[in-house]
Amino acid sequence: MLHGILDNYGVIPLCTANLYTSLTDYNSPKDKISYMEKKGELIRIKKGLYVCSAKIHGQLLSRELIANHLYGPSYVSLESALSFYGIIPERTETLHSVTFKRSKKFQTPLGLFEYQSIPKQLYAIGFKQEFAGEDYAYLIATPEKALCDLLLTTANLKFSSKKSMLNFLEQDLRIDFSTVKWNTRIVQECAKAGKKTKELLYLKEVLNECV
């Protein structure tokens, strides 16, 4: 019976209130939650936020979906988004996201989740829904926005020319430009916000040559 109730949530993170609602048949929902944690049926992501394990629903957990729920508003970006699209060769162990709230890190049983703060006007540019399976979707930066976010949040990055930007992208990030069709209008929108404008315009020039 219990598994049937929690199956409704699948891989979607749920808060303590959700669990209490599902466990009203138990004399002490709090004790039942603790018991399910010990049994490995529930994974506590942070205080008050849980996700059902594969013992309940038999599905793979989505760290990207968990990242959206763990701290928000936020969406997956930076190296994690670039890796997702196959633009950089490395697979990142830390799940990187951006938010317009303050930067934050969470060490969880499912790994490290890191959130970088960007201005609110830039946050609203260049993200989309990515569907994982039939039942849920999470928010992730477009390829262009992930690069913009990386430039915006990396300290002491200075470029004197389009060539220096290209060297950074090719040698430091090892970007594969052929992986996606670049939408440089997103970069232009970010440049208009007035943060690291010169760097973003160099990025736009480089990507324009790849379109």
Q: Is residue 46 domain-shared with residue 132, that is, in the same domain?
A: no
Q: Is residue 74 domain-shared with residue 31, that is, in the same domain?
A: no
Q: What is the pLDDT of residues 131-174, one digit of tens each?
A: 876 778 999 999 999 999 999 999 888 898 999 999 999 999 99
Average pLDDT, the chain: 91
Please determine, for residue 72, whether its predicted confidence score (pLDDT) is greater than 60: yes
Q: Confidence class of residue 46 from pLDDT cuts 50, 70 and 90?
A: very high
**pLDDT at site 32:** 86
Q: Is residue 142 domain-shared with residue 199, that is, in the same domain?
A: yes
**pLDDT at site 3:** 52
Q: Is residue 69 domain-shared with residue 50, that is, in the same domain?
A: no
**pLDDT at site 4:** 56
- Averaged pLDDT for residues 77-101: 94
Q: What is the pLDDT of residues 9-34, one digit of tens each?
A: 778 899 998 888 878 778 888 888 89
Q: Is residue 118 domain-shared with residue 20, that is, in the same domain?
A: no
Please determine, for residue 67, whether its predicted confidence score (pLDDT) is greater than 60: yes
Across 31-45, 100-114, 115-129, 174-188, least confident range: 31-45
Answer whether 32's CB lies under 8 Å from 44's CB: no
Q: Among 37, 57, 77, where does a domain finish?
A: 57
Q: Confidence class of residue 1 from pLDDT cuts 50, 70 and 90?
A: very low
Counting Cα atoms < 13 Å in the Cβ hemisphere of 25 gives 4
**pLDDT at site 188:** 97
Q: Is residue 74 domain-shared with residue 173, that is, in the same domain?
A: yes
Q: Is residue 45 domain-shared with residue 144, that is, in the same domain?
A: no
**pLDDT at site 56:** 76
By residue range, what is the domain housing residue 24? 2-57
| Sequence-distant contacts of 161-166: CB under 8 A, at least 24 apart | 161/202, 162/202, 162/205, 162/206, 164/202, 165/199, 165/202, 165/203, 165/205, 165/206, 166/206
Q: Is residue 8 domain-shared with residue 27, that is, in the same domain?
A: yes
pTM: 0.90
Residue 10: both structure tokens together? 């699948």
The three-state (H, E, C) secondary structure of 140-190, written as one string: EECHHHHHHHHHHHCCCCCCCCHHHHHHHHHHHCCCCHHHCCCCHHHHHHH
Q: Among 17, 37, 57, where does a domain finish?
A: 57
| pLDDT, greater one: 23 or 75 | 75
Q: Among 39, 57, 75, where does a domain finish?
A: 57
- Averaged pLDDT for residues 175-179: 93
Q: Is residue 38 domain-shared with residue 10, that is, in the same domain?
A: yes
Answer whether 62's CB lies under 8 Å from 82's CB: no
Q: Is residue 26 domain-shared with residue 108, that is, in the same domain?
A: no
Q: Is residue 48 domain-shared with residue 76, that is, in the same domain?
A: no
Number of domain units in the chain: 2
Q: Is residue 127 domain-shared with residue 202, that is, in the same domain?
A: yes
**pLDDT at site 174:** 95
